[in-house]
A and B are shown apart, each in its own frame.
Chain A
Amino acid sequence: MTSSLSMAQNDQRKRAAAPAPRRHHRTLKERLEPYLLIAPTVLLILGLMVVPIAIVIGYSLYDNVVTNPNPVFVGAANYVTILTSPAFWGAAGNTLVFTVASVVAHMVIGMAFAMMLNSKTMARVPRAIFRAIYILPWIFTASVVAVLWRLLLDPSGVINYLLTSLGVVHDAVPWLGTASTALLAVTVINIWSGYPFFMISLLAGLQNVSTDLYEAARVDGAGFFRQFASVTLPALRPILYSMALLDLLWTTQQFTLIWATTGGGPLGATEMLSTFTYKLAFNSYQFSMASTSAVLVLAASLIVAVFYVRRQRKEAQ
């Protein structure tokens, strides 16, 4: 224990002396305490997330809400329509590829950059500069990221210019306009704009990894990779796990980036569940179908959430 904590403890000891006689009340208070503390979160999530979601679930059971003033209850009919629609499954497949590739890349790049930035061999000033550069992709709103990358990836844009000048490709490639490269292109854009978020959280997490552990590993003769595997990774596991889960859920609903770059095309190559749902809602005004598709995504994500919570519980035990 270092001094700061033991000081705090001494402090606690002093302060704890006074309320000691009330100790027998604690059991009831203790039982209520967690509920009181999480009340703000629960109220907010309930009122502004769960209620709208419940309304959306309601929408999904009617034939056509919003545009039809007198919608008719149709039960699960919309679910049958959506689940038997090849377009939905196509979009689900693209979403899966896009999401998994993005999450893995975010994690690998975020980890690599965080490790590099955390390196003790670097002087303070270059470290600060690199840190600032590395978070840059994160700080722009999605529609601007889309505009920027459309510009960069244009057949007469700078990336094609560099590639053709260097002889990597012979003719300029319309990355976003070619069915075979569009999914790759949007994934790269998403990787670019999303990794700093991993990096920052991991950087913060790395500060909690004891240097003594590295020291001990080094004494045991562990090299860089062994140290990484036996010290860094285990220490960061809770953070990595939470981040991966969140990123999985967020990337699934990534909309603006896709919409503003490809709109789901060409030939449906980048159609995601989010763009599929949007088109149902605001291109064909089938809000019930759009709600159905959203509820299916919700159901899938709840399954992921259940696994996450169950695993966390195991870890806690």
Chain B
Amino acid sequence: MMGNGALGRWRRPTWKASVAAAATAVALLVAGCAGGSGGGGGGSNGNVTLTFSQWWAPEMPSGALQNLMDEFHKENPNITVKLISAPFQSLQSQTISQAASGTLPDVVGLDGSWVNPLYKQGALLNLSDAMKKANYDPKDLASQVGYNGSTYMIPVVNFVYPLFTNDAILSQAGISKPPTTWSEFAADAKKISQSGSAKGWVVPLGTTNPNGVQNDILSWAWASGGSMLSNGQPNLTNNPDVTGAVNLVKDLVQSNAVLPGANALQETDKVENFINGRAGMMIDSLAHINTITKGNANLKFSVSAQPVKDGSTGTPGMLTASWGIGISAKTQHSAEAWKLVQFLMDQTNNSKLSTLANGFPGNKTSKPDFTGADPHFQQAFAIYQKSKPVNEFTGLPAADQLMTDFLNEFQKTVAGQESTDTMLSNVQNQWKQQF
């Protein structure tokens, strides 16, 4: 097996035989097998196989997405969907590599932070055209992501990021209800940190996945109706909402009101620390409700809107992340691919999909199915309906790099190396290079 046995038995070794053996082995490897080349295969009998790459299947109950695809096949007997599930962490580099070599699957799951480079690569199909061809009226779509007036990505399921509070920890600190304003939030976080072993808040500022910038820093500005952009350009300096958000988080980190080691924490670490009672509050994806109840069935917690800037009025913003969908520009079956997108955006199917994913539908007319769902889920939906979904990073060029730049400078200001104003003007300059 490991060479010795096999080689030892070579009774009559000659160099010709050795070379021949090695050459055959190599040739077999190189020449062998032509199957499995990417893209979808079209049958001569009109049957079409669509490939659909996504990270959704592993996030949903086992087999749930496949069942939905089987239903699609029942409705469209000539179209079979082959699911290609990949880990979310690596799907971005996969998708970019596939696009570069022209092997992007027919239908692709997209994240708001990598739709831009794919669009620039020319790898995505213009969905506005596809809709027109199919006579589809997009009036029910909650949102669309596009460039130059055309759509390239449609958010299928939206995940909101409300405030989670641990009831026991709050009451132990003498707090009767979840905070609703920045100052209440800051005061509560400090109170919790001083009253027991738990910290007030958990904020992940690790650079592996810099989305703490979006979820835990800038979300404060967005919740209060603020914006980091102005006419599509970065607008971080002289922006009271952004400055306020940065100062809020900085103050809490500096006064040790957050879980220690924030610089190494990732989004994935929030839930476990929350379940284990190490942090009293977190801004986190509603999709984690099941993880929380499974992890600690006895935990009493509340879900509320992210606190807003003191004195802020108007419709509050609510941080939203999406599972987006797009179609490969190189697909041989654009009509069939669009049919699949349309199927997923359809009122009933979209509702089914979002319920399975613990998210909210991308179709405005769909309602999540609350039967048997966690009561927090319904509460969150009520908040969601009252607020404006927002995520300003979606579709921006090099969104990950923007967040990394922001995070690096933020770490500096927390470490006392520069003021908030210096930090924001540095980030502003770095961002301008990307736009």
| Interface residues, chain A, with chain B CB atoms under 8 Å away | 33, 36-37, 39-40, 43-44, 66-69, 150, 154-156, 172, 174, 176-179, 182, 259-268, 279, 281-285
Residue of A nearest to B206 (CB): A263
Q: Are A263 and B96 in contact (CB under 8 A)?
A: no
Q: Are A263 and B408 in contact (CB under 8 A)?
A: no
Q: Which residues of the partner chain A approach B84 to less than 8 Å between Cβ atoms?
A: none
The 3 nearest A-B residue pairs measured at CB? A174-B261, A263-B208, A177-B264
CB distance from B369 to the nearest CB of A (A): 34
- Residue B434, interface by CB 8 Å: yes
C-beta contact mask, B11-41 vs A, less than 8 Å → 1, else 0? 0000100110011011000000000000000
Q: Are A265 and B261 in contact (CB under 8 A)?
A: no
- Residue B100, interface by CB 8 Å: yes
Q: Which residues of the partner chain B approach A176 to less than 8 Å between Cβ atoms?
A: 261, 263-264
Residue of B nearest to A263 (CB): B208
Residue of A nearest to B415 (CB): A267
- Residue B148, interface by CB 8 Å: no
Q: Are B26 and A154 in contact (CB under 8 A)?
A: no
Which among B116-124, B170-178, B308-316, B373-381 touches the partner chain?
Answer: B116-124
Q: Which residues of the partner chain B approach A69 to less than 8 Å between Cβ atoms?
A: 121-122
Q: How far, in whole Å, are A285 and B398 apart by their CA atoms in the complex?
A: 7
Q: How far, in whole Å, are A285 and B93 apart by their CA atoms in the complex?
A: 10
Q: Are B260 and A172 in contact (CB under 8 A)?
A: yes
Q: Which residues of the partner chain A approach B264 to less than 8 Å between Cβ atoms?
A: 150, 174, 176-177, 182, 261-262, 265-266
Number of B positions contacting A (CB below 8 A): 42
Within 392-415 of B, Cβ neighbours of A (below 8 Å) are at 397-398, 400-401, 404, 407-408, 411-412, 415
Q: Which residues of the partner chain A approach B243 to less than 8 Å between Cβ atoms?
A: none
C-beta contact mask, B152-193 vs A, less than 8 Å → 1, else 0? 000000000000000000000000000000000000000000
Q: Could you write out 9 A-B pairs with CB less than 8 Å apart?
A: A37-B18, A67-B117, A174-B260, A177-B260, A262-B207, A264-B207, A266-B264, A283-B398, A284-B401
CB distance from B189 to the nearest CB of A (A): 17
**With contact pairs A266-B264, A268-B408 given, residues A66 and B100 touching in the complex (Cβ less than 8 Å):** yes
Q: Are A39 and B19 in contact (CB under 8 A)?
A: yes
Q: Are A177 and B262 in contact (CB under 8 A)?
A: yes
Q: Which residues of the partner chain B approach A267 to less than 8 Å between Cβ atoms?
A: 263, 408, 411-412, 415
Q: Which residues of the partner chain A approach B397 to less than 8 Å between Cβ atoms?
A: 285
B278: contacting residue among A156, A177, A268, A282, CB under 8 A: A156
Q: Which residues of the partner chain B approach A33 to less than 8 Å between Cβ atoms?
A: 15
**With contact pairs A66-B100, A259-B208, A285-B96 given, residues A279 and B263 touching in the complex (Cβ less than 8 Å):** no
CB distance from B261 to the nearest CB of A (A): 3
Within 54-102 of B, Cβ neighbours of A (below 8 Å) are at 92-93, 96, 100
**With contact pairs A37-B19, A279-B401 given, residues A285 and B263 touching in the complex (Cβ less than 8 Å):** no
Q: Which residues of the partner chain A approach B407 to less than 8 Å between Cβ atoms?
A: 265
Q: Are B208 and A40 in contact (CB under 8 A)?
A: no
Residue of A nearest to B278 (CB): A156
**With contact pairs A154-B261, A262-B207, A266-B263 given, residues A283 and B19 touching in the complex (Cβ less than 8 Å):** no
Residue of A nearest to B120 (CB): A67
CB distance from A270 to the nearest CB of B (A): 9
Q: How far, in whole Å, are A86 and B326 apart by their CA atoms in the complex?
A: 38
Q: Are B207 and A263 in contact (CB under 8 A)?
A: yes
Q: How far, in whole Å, are A279 and B92 apart by their CA atoms in the complex?
A: 12
Q: Are B398 and A284 in contact (CB under 8 A)?
A: yes
A279: contacting residue among B18, B100, B404, CB under 8 A: B404
B15: contacting residue among A36, A67, A263, A268, CB under 8 A: A36
- Residue B265, interface by CB 8 Å: yes
CB distance from A298 to the nearest CB of B (A): 20
Q: Which residues of the partner chain B approach A265 to less than 8 Å between Cβ atoms?
A: 206-207, 263-264, 407-408, 411
Q: Are B121 and A67 in contact (CB under 8 A)?
A: yes
Q: How far, in whole Å, are A284 and B114 apart by their CA atoms in the complex?
A: 10
Residue of B nearest to A185 (CB): B264
A40: contacting residue among B22, B122, B261, B262, CB under 8 A: B22
CB distance from A309 to the nearest CB of B (A): 23
Residue of A nearest to B119 (CB): A67
CB distance from A26 to the nearest CB of B (A): 12
CB distance from A33 to the nearest CB of B (A): 6
Q: Are B411 and A266 in contact (CB under 8 A)?
A: yes
Q: How far, in whole Å, are A268 and B210 apart by their CA atoms in the complex?
A: 13
CB distance from A293 to the nearest CB of B (A): 15
Residue of B nearest to A15 (CB): B12
Q: How far, in whole Å, are A69 and B412 apart by their CA atoms in the complex?
A: 37
Residue of B nearest to A269 (CB): B263
